[in-house]
Structure 1
Amino acid sequence: MAINAVLFDFSGTLFRLEQQDGWLDDVRDDDGSALDVEAQTELMRRMTAPVEQSVELDEEHLHAWHNRDRDPQLHRKVYLEVLRLSGVPRRDQAEALYAQLIAPDQWTPYPDTEAALKAVASSGRKAGVLSNIAFDIRPAFGQRGWDAHVSEFTLSFEVGAVKPEPEIFQAAIERLGVRAEETLMVGDSEEADGGARALGCQFALVDPLPTAQRPDALLGVLREHGVL
C-alpha cells in the first residue's frame, strides 16, 4: 500500500543531543579530577540512550526509569540519579547537565532533517513526530520554522503511553487521520519504534550516529519506501 503519512522519532532520528563546548569542563569525579574524553563520551551515551538502562538502580529509581517518559518529574528524578552514578557527584553540576538535556535548543538536527520534513509535506503526505520524551520538543522545530512541515506531535508524556505500546502509535495515526497500513514509522530503535509494525505500519530503522556521520539517512529511507 502507498505511504500517505510518515511518523518520525525525535532523538537519534531527527535530532541528536551532542556535547557542546564547555558542558563538561567543570564536572569533576569523586576524587576531584576532570573527566577524560572516554568518561565524557560514556556520560553522553548514558544521557541519550533510547532504551537501555545504563546503570544499576534501586527499586525507587528503577520505577522512575520505567516511567520516565510518562512523567516529567520521574524523568528528572532518574536522570539526576543516572548522572550521580555516572561520575557527577555534585547535585548542582548534575542539575546543570540535566537542564541541557531537556533544552530543545541544545539538540542538533541531522543534516537532512529539514529536507526530509519538507519532502513529506510538499508531496501532499502528512509528517508527524512521535517521541518517547518527557519535555516539549516543539520549540526545536518552531525556532527553525520546521513546525510548518509537521502536522502533529505525539509526545509520550502528553498521551500517557510510550513506544512500543500500541496506544501511542494509535494516537499518532488517529491525529494524522490515516490508516496504519499507509503509515511509515522512521526511528532509531527496533525495540521501541519497531512496535509500529504491530498495528500494520511499515518501519524503517536509522542508525543514531553523530550528526556529522549521517548526512542523508532520512532521505534514503524515504526513497526506499517510495515517498521521494
Structure 2
Amino acid sequence: MTVRAVLFDFSGTLFRLEQDESWFNDLTDDFGASWDPVAQTELMRRMTAPTGQIAELSPEYQEAWDKRDLDPLLHRKVYLEVLRRSGVTDSQAEGLYARLIDPDCWTPYPDTVETLRRLHDAGIRIGVISNIAFDIRPALERVGVSELVDEVLMSYVEGVIKPDPKLFLRACERIEVDPEQALMVGDSVEADGGAADVGCRIAIVDPLPTSERPDALLSALADNGLPEAPA
C-alpha cells in the first residue's frame, strides 16, 4: 500500500541532545578530577535513553520512572535522582536537567530539515510522536520546520506512551490516514516498533551523534519508496 504519511520520533530520530563540554565544566568526581569523556557520554546516555532501566531506584522513584513521560513533575523528580545516583551533586543535577528540557539544547540531525521539507512538498502527511514530558515544538520552530509538520503528539499531553497502540492510532486519525498507509521512523524497536501492531510500516535509525549520521532519515524514505535525494 502507498505510504501517505510518515510519523517520526523526536529524540534520537529527528533531534539529539548533543554532548556539550561546557555543561561538564563544574563536574568533578570524588577525588576532584573532571569527568572524563567516557563518563560524560554515559551521563548523556542516561539522560536520553528511550527505554530500559538506567539506574537502581527505590520503589518511590521506580514508579516515577515508569510514568516519567506522562507527568513533567515525575519526569523532573526521577531524572534528578538518576543524576544524583550517577555521582552528580544536587546543584549540578539541576543545571543538567534544565538543559535536558530546553528545546534550544537539542540539535537536529543533518537531514532532518531536508527530510521534512521533501515529504511536505510531495504531499505526504507528517506527524511527530514523542514519549516526552516537555514541549518539543519550539525545537521544530527554531529550525524552521514547524509549518511542515501536521501534528505533534507528546505523551505528557496525550496521557499515553509508546508502544501503546492508542498513540499511533491517534496520530493516524489526526492526520487522516489509515495505519497501513503510514511509516513510523524511530530509534527504538521497543517503543517505536509498537506501530507495527496497528499496521504501520517501521524504519529504525541508530541514535548516533549527529556528526556520525548524515542521511539516515533520507535513506529510510528511499527504502520505503518515498522522495529520494537528488542525484
TM-score by length of 1: 0.97
Q: Distance in 1 between matches of 2:143 and 2:111?
A: 14
Q: Distance in 2 between matches of 1:4 and 1:59?
A: 44
Q: Distance in 1 between matches of 2:24 and 2:95?
A: 10
Partner of 1:171 in structure 2?
170
Partner of 2:187 in structure 1?
188
How far residue 101 of structure 1 moved from its aligned partner, in angstroms, is 0.4
Report 1:23-172 matches (<5 A): 23-88=23-88, 90-172=89-171
Stretches (4+) displaced over 4 A: none
How far residue 37 of structure 1 moved from its aligned partner, in angstroms, is 1.7
| Secondary structure class of the residue paired with 2:68 | coil
Name whichever of 48-57 and 73-82 sits farther off. 48-57
Q: Distance in 1 between matches of 2:87 and 2:40?
A: 10
How far residue 29 of structure 1 moved from its aligned partner, in angstroms, is 2.6
Partner of 2:12 in structure 1?
12
Which string of whole-angstrom CA distances, capped at 9 and with x for unpartnered residues, describes residues 2-28 of structure 1? 000000000000000011131011012
| Superposed CA RMSD | 0.9
Q: Distance in 2 between matches of 1:32 and 1:167?
A: 48
| Secondary structure class of the residue paired with 1:204 | strand
Q: Distance in 2 between matches of 1:218 and 1:128?
A: 14
In structure 1, runs of 5+ residues without a counterpart are none
Name whichever of 96-105 and 22-31 sits farther off. 22-31
Q: Distance in 2 between matches of 1:154 and 1:160?
A: 10
In structure 2, runs of 5+ residues without a counterpart are none
Amino acid at match of 1:32: G
Amino acid at match of 1:105: D
Amino acid at match of 1:167: K
Q: Distance in 1 between matches of 2:180 and 2:42?
A: 39
How far residue 30 of structure 1 moved from its aligned partner, in angstroms, is 3.4
| Secondary structure class of the residue paired with 1:139 | helix
Q: Distance in 1 between matches of 2:30 and 2:49?
A: 24
Calculate percent identity across the aligned residue pairs: 58
| Secondary structure class of the residue paired with 1:23 | helix
TM-score by length of 2: 0.96
Partner of 2:205 in structure 1?
206
How far residue 167 of structure 1 moved from its aligned partner, in angstroms, is 1.1
Which string of whole-angstrom CA distances, capped at 9 and with x for unpartnered residues, describes residues 43-85 of structure 1? 1111111112111011000001100000000000000000001
Q: Distance in 1 between matches of 2:75 and 2:23?
A: 20
How far residue 145 of structure 1 moved from its aligned partner, in angstroms, is 1.5
Q: Distance in 2 between matches of 1:61 and 1:35?
A: 26
Q: Distance in 2 between matches of 1:40 and 1:87?
A: 11
